[in-house]
Amino acid sequence: MKKLGLIGFPLGHSFSKKYYLEKFQKENIQHIDYDLYPIERISDFPSIFTNKDFYGVNVTIPYKIEVMDYLNELSDEAKAIQAVNCIRIMHSAEGTPYLKGYNTDAYGFEESLKPLLEVHDKKALVLGNGGAAKAVIYVLDKLGIQHTLVSRTKQTDNFTYDEINASILAEYSVIINCSPVGTFPNIPESPALPYEHITAKHLFYDLIYNPEETTFLKKGKEKGARTKNGYEMLLLQAEKNWEIWNS
């Protein structure tokens, strides 16, 4: 039985496990299992990848950066982003594992964003500065969209939420929520923006997919903005993972 899985901590409801097990059933893919591996320390990771049956792993919070210390190679996009969410594990005839890290979040985000973009979408605000934001920034750079981070604390070349005003929102038409604000069960929460200045020229993209429509997206839609949640991004990156593992 070949093994795939997800590492992170803690691991609650998993989109990945449900997605792949349903895929295996629908497509009659046999002799492969996908399971969750909650590890409290990244130092526990070798106990998983030294198992010869493992040939692929997804990585989630909080290990997308730390896991790179255990990899033999990074793909170009993972190297640029400095965060990994997909690992292909190859074993030599002697059983020595060789691990290559990828970032398929970038692929999923790019392919789901591009159809939404309009001619005037030249600048983006990126809400949050965690690992997910790194993949988003990589894609924005690739697409030639200028961007500025928005976070709670002032750092070099970023805005704080308190600084966002009508003038800034008129300049930045794309707003991407990479923060966990508004995720189930904290559904009523939303990033602290002056939503009264949002117009139909804006695009609201939320990496969150649970709930399907966050309060952030709801507030954007009320002002006529185009809106998109993170579900398609997840589907696209999941299929990209499968392609990588089986290439």
Indicate which residues carry an active-site annotation: 64
**In the chain, count of helices (H) and strands (E)?**
8, 12
Q: What are phi and psi of 3, to 5 degrees?
A: -125, 140
CA distances from 117 to 124, 144, 151, 164, 243 (A): 11, 12, 24, 22, 27
Phi/psi region, residue 8 (left: phi>0; alpha: psi -120 to 50; beta: rest), is left
User: Are 80 and 63 within 8 A, CB to CB?
Assistant: no
Which neighbouring-strand residues pair with 127?
Answer: 150, 177
Q: What is the DSSP letter of 72?
A: S
Residue 220 and residue 229: Cα distance in Å, rounded? 12
Q: Report which residue type is found at 220.
A: G
User: Are 209 and 230 within 8 A, CB to CB?
Assistant: yes
